[in-house]
Amino acid sequence: MSIKVEYLGMSLSIDELDGENLAYFKHCAEHNFHLQACADCGLLRYPPTTACPWCMSREARWQPVEGKGAVHAYTEVHHAIQPAFKGHTPYLVLLVDLDTQKGKPSEHEALRVVGNLTTPDGKLAPPDMVKRVGIGTRVRMVFSDVGPGLALPQWTIDEAARQPDKPWRYPQE
Ligand SMILES: [Zn+2]
């Protein structure tokens, strides 16, 4: 069954033929983070796909994965292209290296999960929080409830983790 909801006044939908994403977001709706683990080579993958990107196997099972990691890269958006985001600038789009499977299958690889920086309750982060985050910041996954059957995986500062003294940020001001 397809999912259709509204987020910040925009319509979001996942088609019923998109089986991998429906399964992925079904777990997210329950605030659980699951990824596909390949039944042949055992590697996890993200984003959800039909076949393993490393061994091409189509057999996989869903496995719970810890939503913790460090910021690998970020974009700080000051000029929102989509009108729905205009009231939320500046906001961050984060690419986060999960601790799970970091450095596999090669030393340069990791499961890199995209999301916005949010408060612990899943609201887009205010400017003073945005300024504290850069490459290396430790984050944990939280979920933004969007509507029936859909929650978006997002990232918030992991206050319990040891943080880098000065996460790398673009020079500003
Ligand atoms: Zn595989």
The tens digit of pLDDT for each residue in 38-76 reads 999 999 999 999 999 999 999 999 999 999 999 999 999
Ordered alpha helix ranges (H), 14-159: 19-29, 127-130
pLDDT tens digits, one per residue of 141-162: 999 999 888 999 999 999 999 9
CA dist., res. 57 & res. 13, Å (int):
28
Distance CA 94, CA 141 (A): 11
CA 45 to ligand 1 center in whole angstroms: 9
Within 10 A of 62 (CB to CB), how many other CB atoms are there?
A: 16
157: left (phi over 0), alpha (psi -120 to 50) or beta: beta
Task: Residue 152: count other Cβ atoms within 10 Å of its Cβ.
Answer: 19
**% of the chain at pLDDT higher than 90:** 88
Q: Report pLDDT digits (tens) over 31-48.
A: 999 999 999 999 999 999
What mean pLDDT comes out for the span 90-102?
Answer: 98
d(CA 93, CA 77): 8
167: its two tokens: 């996460």
pTM of the model: 0.94
For residue 149, what is the DSSP state?
T
- The two three-digit tokens of residue 67, written as one number: 């939503």
Compute the distance from residue 127 Cα to the ligand 1 centre, in Å. 41
Between the CA of 44 and the centroid of ligand 1 the distance, in Å, is 8
Distance 173 CA to ligand 1 centre (A): 46
Q: How far is the CA of 43 from the centre of ligand 1 (A)?
A: 6
Q: How far is the CA of 80 from the centre of ligand 1 (A)?
A: 38
Rounded percentage of the chain residues whose pLDDT exceeds 70: 99
Judged on CB neighbours under 10 Å (0-12, 13-18, 19+), 56 is: exposed
For ligand 1, the distance from its centroid to the CA atom of residue 3, given in whole angstroms, is 28
- Is the pLDDT assigned to residue 173 strictly greater than 60? no
Q: Hey, what are 91's tokens?
A: 């906001």
Structure confidence at residue 74 (pLDDT):
98
Whole-number pLDDT of residue 166: 92
